[in-house]
Structure 1
């Protein structure tokens, strides 16, 4: 790591450090941080120092720990991220949001049993916390508890029928269980609610197009279900080589997909 990179996470990084900092050369950063510019890093360092200063005046303030935790996580410092999430919960055990974020951080580290405990408590505190329910469904999927994951997704959809994430998640569950009919149904809803709207190109939205195309092929609905168009949409959103609908490349990819089912 360069001297600028190594000094970035120091207690008081200088603006010179930040100006010469290149996230691509920093092995300490997780993959999702590689697209951060030095200005992005500077903002996060500034925010981190702000909350650390506030904490000196009131170290028992749960909100300070809650806000500081993700700033550590974004630069790859998962140890302090978890520590501050834990302290946020300790100082305010009745905060559903603090427990949800703690559970999500644990989930990202593969600590699924601990994540489940925090997310269940978050939902117990706030019976309408659909974010925690979606996260709990993801935890259950990782643990192979698909029936429980499905129930959590159904709870979210009951409370918030337009929750695209819940429709995407339950579609993945149905697909895993071999129920492509319902997987197609919920992926179609997810696409109408989320992917492609206002330029949204998040990874989850992008993959929904690909998953739907594959499921349509598996069900023999390549033409009637417009599988080619959905796969081309996936390729466009994923910034792959853009091709026309029903192109030869898309046909080849879908044929390969079909042989995998």
Structure 2
């Protein structure tokens, strides 16, 4: 089960620096492992290092273009970097990979809302709620996901 992180209020602290160091070490040992790259991106995102997080998610996608976690996380970071059009494309790719990924539906809805496409956002968020009535708990912020 993925661990959820709500990046609207990034968590900063020694634990995040430790996680970042651990993933940096893991990337050195397994530089082509999408899971490691994705998780490194989440650790960087928690520190507010969004450009580096985007690079990590992009690298994960290079090694596994079907990684729904990395595509969703890329969309979250692109939104944070005020690049919503690119975020929409990342959301669409995530949903093309896994139409049942609640997190990708929620991210997509949030991006559409930021673009002022409120009716489309409402429709997309309703799909997330149809998949899981608890999806509303993800609405306050987009969610990045670490992989087990």
Please classify the TM superposition score into its range, dividing by the shorter chain length.
0.7 to 0.9
**Structure that is richer in strand per residue:** 2
Aligned mates of 1:161, 1:78 — CA distance in 2 = 31
CA distance in 2, matches of 1:174, 1:79: 32
Gapped runs of 5+ residues in structure 1? 1-31, 33-72, 197-203, 211-261
TM-score, normalised relative to structure 2: 0.81
Alpha-carbon distance in structure 1 between the residues aligned to 2:115 and 2:18: 38
Select the residue among 2, 15, 18 that pairs with 1:77. Answer: 15
d(CA) in 1 for partners of 2:105, 2:91: 7
1:160 is aligned, of 74, 93, 98, to 98
2:74: which partner in 1?
136
Structure 2 segments unaligned to the other structure (5+ residues): 1-5, 141-148
Q: Number of residues paired by the alignment?
A: 131
| RMSD (CA atoms) | 2.2
Larger Rg: 1
Q: Given the superposition, is the C-alpha separation of residues 154 and 87 from structure 1 closer, same or farther in structure 2, using an over 3 Å criterion?
A: same
Q: Which has the higher contact order (CA 8 A, sep 6+)?
A: 2
Q: Is the 8 A contact 1:195 1:206 kept in 2?
A: no
SS in 2 for 1:162: coil
CA distance in 2, matches of 1:127, 1:78: 27
Distance apart, 1:108 and its partner CA: 1.0
- Normalised to the residue count of structure 1, the TM-score between the two structures is 0.47
Q: Could you say which residue in structure 1 is the equivalent of 2:54? A: 116
